[in-house]
């Protein structure tokens, strides 16, 4: 009974447009309606303008949002530059391949010109991730509740600890997501974001050349696909080559990832891991349905976007997304 009540509360929070006690923040729809009515329109217009000339951006901004939320919550801490006294999250190994910071800066500049000191960088990132993925559909794929404030702390070490690497097994993935109050269902649904974007050779080449440390290949990887990957990444030392995560469809947000996964062609160990648990594998099967995936992805993104958010008077509203405000 208790479990049912918790689920009802969470659904009620999402449906009403407010994520309160159930996710630790006070986010709501149209947070800027009175203080900066055109905020969301500005974010969308600038984002779509960038995506129209760079179709790789949706995957990059979605990944940046994920990496932000898993470290100190969705507080824009991934956007901060390192300083003389601190090495920031963006300089941690998992974040060195992040891109799209220029888009966030462009959006922020436009918003500061229109409504100075009002819209947080954390909200900009959450909205831009949604809007970039939505560009191909010309409609919003999920609701973004707003009201986040910006954090002032960004540490490399915390990124290394909190961002789940592509070599995680199912147990490790489950624990990582559970630590952010996300379920196995959220894990499988959000993994569907791998339907767009690319992976760098070092993130998966151990599966090709040295899976157990004995110069072997991951037996769970489709042999034909593995042979193809070896032509793309001929050695463990290739740090520049990238491979589509959803072969032949890496720019289209769809259910292709799940079809690929069922063919044992998931690029990362963390992808293949989803099939090693019966419950997760059943969810993979269900998400092959286009309507179901889009519905579930929208709900999981709302939950992810509410991780440990700063609201009210916590944090600050940065005037530059790459630096904390000077006192």
Q: Are 210 and 183 in contact (CB under 8 A)?
A: no
Whole-number Å distance between alpha carbons of 186 and 188: 6
Query: How do beta strands 198-200 and 242-244 pair?
Result: antiparallel
Q: What are residue 171's phi and psi, to 5 degrees?
A: -60, -45
Residues in the chain: 327
Whole-number Å distance between alpha carbons of 190 and 258: 11
Q: Assess whether 185 carries a catalytic annotation.
A: no
Between helices 290-304 and 184-191, what is the axis angle to 10°?
110
Residue 325 sits at the vertex; the CA angle it makes with 320 and 327, to the nearest 5 degrees, is 160
Q: Which residue is it, tokens 């159930």? A: 22
Lookup: tokens for 93: 């190994």
The answer for 301, left when phi > 0, alpha when psi is -120 to 50, beta otherwise, is alpha
Q: 149 pairs with which residues across the strands?
A: 310
- Catalytic pick among 50, 65, 67, 194: 67
Q: 83 pairs with which residues across the strands?
A: 86
Instruction: Tell me the torsion sign for CA atoms 248, 254, 260, 261.
Output: positive
Q: 310 pairs with which residues across the strands?
A: 149
Q: Are 180 and 70 in contact (CB under 8 A)?
A: yes
Q: Which residues belong to the active site?
A: 67
């Amino acid at each position: 009974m208790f479990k049912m009540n918790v689920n009802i509360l969470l659904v009620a929070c999402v449906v009403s447009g407010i994520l309160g006690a159930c996710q630790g923040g006070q986010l709501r729809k149209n947070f800027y309606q009175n203080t900066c009515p055109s905020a969301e329109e500005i974010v969308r217009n600038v984002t779509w303008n960038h995506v129209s000339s760079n179709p790789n951006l949706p995957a990059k901004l979605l990944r940046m949002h994920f990496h932000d939320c898993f470290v100190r919550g969705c507080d824009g801490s991934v956007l901060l530059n390192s300083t003389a006294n601190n090495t920031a999250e963006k300089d941690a190994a998992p974040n060195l391949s992040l891109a799209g910071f220029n888009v966030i800066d462009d959006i922020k500049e436009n918003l500061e010109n229109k409504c100075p000191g009002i819209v947080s960088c954390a909200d900009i990132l959450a909205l831009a991730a949604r809007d970039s993925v939505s560009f191909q559909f010309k409609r919003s794929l999920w609701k973004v509740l707003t009201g986040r404030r910006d954090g002032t702390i960004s540490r490399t070490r915390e990124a290394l600890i909190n961002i789940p690497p592509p070599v995680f097994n199912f147990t490790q993935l489950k624990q990582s997501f559970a630590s952010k109050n996300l379920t196995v269902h959220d894990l499988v649904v959000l993994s569907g974001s791998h339907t767009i974007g690319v992976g760098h050779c070092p993130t998966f080449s151990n599966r090709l050349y040295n899976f157990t440390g004995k110069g072997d290949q991951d037996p769970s990887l489709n042999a034909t696909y593995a042979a193809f990957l070896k032509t793309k990444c001929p050695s463990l030392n290739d740090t520049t080559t990238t491979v589509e995560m959803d072969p032949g469809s890496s720019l289209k947000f769809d259910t292709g990832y799940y079809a690929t996964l069922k063919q044992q062609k998931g690029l990362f160990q963390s992808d293949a891991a989803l099939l090693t648990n019966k419950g997760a594998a059943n969810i993979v099967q269900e998400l092959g349905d286009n309507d179901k995936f889009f519905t579930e992805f929208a709900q999981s993104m709302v939950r992810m976007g509410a991780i440990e958010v700063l609201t009210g008077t916590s944090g600050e509203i940065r005037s530059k997304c790459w630096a904390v405000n000077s006192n």
